[in-house]
């Protein structure tokens, strides 16, 4: 199977311990940096704030090729009918849910 490993660190790389660096180096994609509310941008792919960076330590991906767009995930539990939305849906999407 051609699977990838993606890691959200919450740290800047210079803050890593040796073990954190080893984990980082084995990942196909790393989202590095802390979320900063004042830098929030809902249009970023996989990141919440503009200071966070997408890195590909293994070289499997070229982060410069990822387009930015509003991305959401919707999970509907068929047993409980609970809807969980992850991301930042726009008003048009929210009106569909209501």
Residue 44: count of CB within 10 angstroms of its CB: 20
**Based on the domain organization, do 16 and 56 belong to the same domain?**
yes
Q: Which domain holds residue 88?
A: 70-98
Higher pLDDT, 14 or 68: 14
**Based on the domain organization, do 10 and 55 belong to the same domain?**
yes
**Based on the domain organization, do 22 and 57 belong to the same domain?**
yes
Q: Total structural domains in the chain?
A: 2
**Based on the domain organization, do 88 and 42 belong to the same domain?**
no
Higher pLDDT, 11 or 84: 11
**Based on the domain organization, do 56 and 95 belong to the same domain?**
no
Residues 12, 33 contacting (CB under 8 angstroms): yes
Tally of helices (H runs) and strands (E runs) in the chain: 2, 5
**Based on the domain organization, do 75 and 90 belong to the same domain?**
yes
Has residue 88 got a pLDDT over 70? Answer: no
Q: What are phi and psi of 51, to 5 degrees?
A: -80, -20
User: Sorting pLDDT into bands at 50, 70 and 90, what band is 71?
Assistant: low
CA gap 56, 32 in Å, rounded = 11
**Based on the domain organization, do 40 and 60 belong to the same domain?**
yes
pLDDT tens figures, 18-58:
999 999 999 999 999 999 999 998 878 888 899 999 999 99
């Amino acid at each position: 199977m051609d699977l990838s490993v993606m890691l959200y660190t919450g740290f800047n790389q210079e803050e890593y311990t040796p073990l954190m660096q080893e984990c980082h180096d084995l990942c196909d994609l790393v989202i590095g940096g802390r979320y900063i509310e004042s830098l929030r941008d809902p249009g970023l792919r996989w990141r919440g704030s503009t200071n966070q960076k997408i890195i590909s330590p293994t070289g499997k991906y070229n982060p410069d090729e990822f387009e930015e767009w509003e991305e959401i995930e919707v999970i509907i539990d068929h047993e409980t009918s609970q809807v969980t939305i992850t991301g930042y849906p726009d008003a048009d999407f929210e009106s569909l849910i209501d």
